[in-house]
Amino acid sequence: MEEDRLLFHEMGLDDRLLKALADLGWSQPTLIQEKAIPLALEGKDLLARARTGSGKTAAYAVPLIQRILTSKQTVREQAIRALVLVPTKELGQQVQTMIRQLTAYCGRDVRVADISGKADLSAQKPILMEKPDIVVSTPSRVQAHINAQNLQLHTSLEMLVIDEADLLFSFGFEADLKSLLCHFPKIYQAFLMSATLNDDVQALKDLVLHNPVTLKLQGSQLPDSSQLQQYSVQCEEEDKFLLIYTLLKLGLVRGKSLIFVGDVDRCYRLKLFLEQFSIPACVLNSELPVHSRCHIIAQFNQGFYNYIIATDEQGLENPVASSQKTQEKGKKKKNSGKSGKGKDKEYGVSRGIDFHNVSNVINFDFPTSVESYIHRVGRTARADNPGTALSFISHTELPMLTEVESALSGDTECVLKPYGFKMEEIEGFRYRCRDAMRSVTKQAMKEARLKEIKQELLNSEKLKTYFEDNPRDLQLLRHDKDLHPAVIKPHMKNVPEYLIPATLKSLVNPLKQRRKRKFKTGGMMLSSFKSTFRGKNPLKSFRYTRKKRGEKKAGKT
Ligand code: AMP
């Protein structure tokens, strides 16, 4: 523990808020919280650059709640006092959840409503008529409600938060945001939270902030190598499938994993491929209805699924938002929001979303921008947790790897190391992988995609009605079921003993239980087995790391 860090109870916070913080198990504020909360409570405008996973939601949510509690001691009249603007519906729901947790003991005094969901405007009108103290929304939703005269902010708004500010512009909210400003009062306190302070954010700063304090706290955009291990492995298309099969089927990847692919089709290609081997995985992309997406994330966080195959289409379609190279060239291209039929432009999983306890991020397809890499990989190693990122790199993806490496090279502690896996050792699996790949035809993918969307639309309807009332029933609703557009051969489920490389035999069946115990914290088996993996024996270093972490933890408490 850092000796002189200000603690929550030294910040003059309401007891109910302190109790909720204690329930969350947060023994001390994160760096951004330590700096931002006192300044915000003094009434300062803030521009904060904070690394994803740094605790920035609470950095603005705590002062928001505290100021509302204080203000309600004098003026009890119910009013919308704070507006939190977010770029995606997923983030909207996450922010609402966090605020609900923080207001667990003062929920009557501080009410929050997330209106970023897709419900009809008229269905949300009664919520707004009750004037929740905090409204969370995307800019376009707020604008729509203002236009429909369901929402008035020009007299009551006291605080404005713009979360993931850099993304708001890239999601095409620029016009919405600018026209919203005319509906705000002249004076309000504003917080701008952003992972990067690019030109868009500077422009926004001039529009909404008055004499702000700028907090540039993060040293690097990603945690250092003692917390986040980053690897890359060169492999072409077929090898990507071979490697993912081996990693998952032989249990070389442990714990919850997010697997990122390049587009929606690839989601289904990989899901169907894994399905051939009875490896269940959820798919997460912008075509799925928002209720399903949020439910998948909620269930993943509760430990229902081990693998999510996700796209980060916004990041992919708008690589320019951060690509330094392109920025230098001044060729900025804004996402016009025309991200394709059936796709939700307010979708985003690689940015801002707090997947819990993700042990591994696997870039099955490498992202197409530095920013996208940082945000994908930022889904693991959150708060104080360790994490591993592994990127599969085909020859066409090499230039982007170089770009990512040079962008991260400022951080000597934050580099991609080669994942020393001997592909030739797993040649024996190639035949069955090819067989499985052949079964995943274009037609099968098309059918799977349609079937999934149909299924999820039904799920989404159920979720819409039951989410609040019957949370238990919802546990029965799963999103990782087989889609079965292709014939599944039962024998593919098992891994024949003779195919397992001698060096990996100790990893599979016979010693499974023992192995499980060793890896129960999650992670990725690296060059633990000298002959299959190149390099020194990192099982040692894995144990060492754990020991070191244990010591660190012990030292902390
Ligand atoms: P955020 O950057 O707001 O998405 O938060 C990232 C993660 O850090 C979330 O899972 C939070 O629950 C967690 N977190 C936020 N503040 C703290 C804290 N003071 N102590 C421990 N965990 C925290």
Question: Which residue owns the Cα nearest ligand 1 atom 20?
Answer: 26
Q: What is the pLDDT of residues 334-347, one digit of tens each?
A: 333 334 555 666 56
Tally the residues of the chain.
Answer: 557
- Coil, strand or helix at 536: coil
Q: What is the pLDDT of residues 268-309, one digit of tens each?
A: 999 999 999 999 999 998 888 877 887 888 888 888 889 999
Q: Which of 2, 66, 63 is nearest to 33 (CA)?
A: 63
Measured at the CA of 474, the angle between CA 471 and CA 476, to 5 degrees, comes to 135
**Cα 101 to averaged position of ligand 1 atoms, centre (Å):** 12
Sheet holding 228-234, edge to edge: 282-284, 307-311, 256-261, 358-363, 387-393, 228-234, 416-418
Look up residue 445 and give its amino acid.
M
User: Which atom of ligand 1 approaches the CA of 94 most closely?
Assistant: 4
Question: Which residue owns the Cα nearest ligand 1 atom 14?
Answer: 55
pTM: 0.64
* Test site for ligand 1: of 8, 13, 26, 51, most ligand atoms within 8 A of the Cβ: 26
Question: Which residue owns the Cα nearest ligand 1 atom 11?
Answer: 55
- Coil, strand or helix at 384: coil
User: Which atom of ligand 1 approaches the CA of 27 most closely?
Assistant: 20
- What's the CA gap between 42 and 63, in Å, rounded? 9
Calculate the CA 179 to chain-centre distance.
29
Residue 364 binned pLDDT confidence (cut-offs 50, 70, 90): very high
**Cα 228 to averaged position of ligand 1 atoms, centre (Å):** 16
Q: Which residues line ligand 1 (CB under 6 A)?
A: 26, 29-30, 33, 53-58, 354, 382-383
Buried b (16+ CB within 10 A) or exposed e, 498-507: eebbeebeeb
User: Which atom of ligand 1 approaches the CA of 26 most closely?
Assistant: 20
User: Which atom of ligand 1 approaches the CA of 28 most closely?
Assistant: 19
CATH superfamily of the domain spanning 228-317+343-495? P-loop containing nucleotide triphosphate hydrolases (3.40.50.300)
Q: What is the pLDDT of residues 478-524, one digit of tens each?
A: 777 776 666 667 777 777 777 777 777 766 654 344 444 444 456 66
CATH code at 2-216? 3.40.50.300
* Test site for ligand 1: of 60, 382, 553, 557, most ligand atoms within 8 A of the Cβ: 382
Q: Using an 8 Å Cβ cutoff, are 346 and 328 in contact?
A: no
Mean pLDDT of 57-66: 97
Q: Using an 8 Å Cβ cutoff, are 276 and 474 in contact?
A: no
**Cα 53 to averaged position of ligand 1 atoms, centre (Å):** 6
User: Which atom of ligand 1 approaches the CA of 57 most closely?
Assistant: 3
- Give the least confident one: 74-88, 158-172, 334-348, 434-448: 334-348
**Tokens at 136, concatenated:** 């969370």
Buried b (16+ CB within 10 A) or exposed e, 30-55: bbbbbbbbbbbbeebbbbbbbbbbbb
User: Which atom of ligand 1 approaches the CA of 30 most closely?
Assistant: 19
